[in-house]
Structure 1
Amino acid sequence: MVDAVTTTTEAASRTTAARTSLTSNFETFLSLLTSQLKNQDPLSPLDSNQFTQQLTQMSGVEQQLMTNDLLTSLLAAQQGGGLGGAANYIGKDATAVWSATKLEGGKANWSYELGASASEVSLSVIDGTGKTVWTGPAPDRTSGTHDFVWDGKTSAGGQLPDGGVYSLKVTAKNGTNAVEAQVLTRGQVSGVELANGVPYLTIGAALVPLSSVIGVKDHPET
């Protein structure tokens, strides 16, 4: 974040310096041109094409500087607005289409949504290497959104340590027909951060990109 702001500041500084130089050169050019026109030989007037070409070149440089100003302004707005906008989510309840979260306190929390009731719904927990560490039936097969808490144990019964990042996969079907399903992360937003220019929200033990959020509401008063 500091590097990005520094880059924007330096770009603005260079543009300002270039404009100051251009203004000075333009004023000098006009002064010299005026003197030449006043003192030119009527029998051998100055070639208008030369100073017209110089005016065109200066106009082109000025247009480029104006473009630089616009790009700098847009970059500054993106840097300031991205994190500032995400901060408005703090304290609210958010729902995101996101499946990765940390194992903390011996548990990991997800939600899953079914587009219709299913005869069979299977959940799988996958570690950071892509390995399935646990598979089991979902606690609810009816249409709608349901919560699921994993206790951090593998299918073989071993307890995995806290700190690992795991993802949930849901597979639902009615007979041989697949049922539409997706994994969600739901909870109260406790913080925001900017990574590579992308705003992220902290929801429980998950770090969720703002772009994956599909719903936000006020957290109920307790």
Structure 2
Amino acid sequence: MAVSNVSNVSSTDNQSTSSLAATSAKELSDRFLTMLTAQMRNQDPLNPLDNAQLTSQMAQISTVTGISQLNTTMQWLGYSMGSLQATQATSLIGRQVLATGNTLTLDEGKGTIGYTVAADADSAKLQVYDKDKNVVATLPLQGNTVGTHTFEWDGKTADGKTVPDGAYTFDVMLTQADKSAKAATLDVKEVAAVRPSSNGTVVLDSKGASINLADVYQVW
């Protein structure tokens, strides 16, 4: 009989421990999700929460929540992050962004272009083309070091002639040790709308063009 009593006590203790562990796991998960949601809500839309950091944080609770619950939580977080980023990105509507592209819009004699340099070059130059791909201007650029650079064109050619306002395209040519290469070009676009994409990322719409939020380098 004594053995039976000990067995009953042990069984009761095990049930209590299991219940306590389950409660602790749920509380831990709830606290984690509350903190993570607050972190996502206050993040910079141009510098969102790092996926590696998120995965690491999620791994810390995987042992107490279980794989099934973890997968469900990850799906929920992915949806929530996309929705929060889209909501935050609405602040960009009506503003101009510098993003991947090579269109140069000259308005009232002014147009801004951007480009990135992956490795220091000896020199850099801007080539502007009209709608027929004719070169209308070739100008030297000061930005030839590693990084992102911008340049405001005044609509003048190298010999001082002024070209009419309108849409142009451009290239930035880099020269290093007698070898030439094109830099990655960036252009200025005005954000008209913001929407989430099918893969959970945020897309900015600008006059029919779609811009991934991750491709935005600068905001005005």
Normalising to structure 1: TM-score of the pair? 0.47
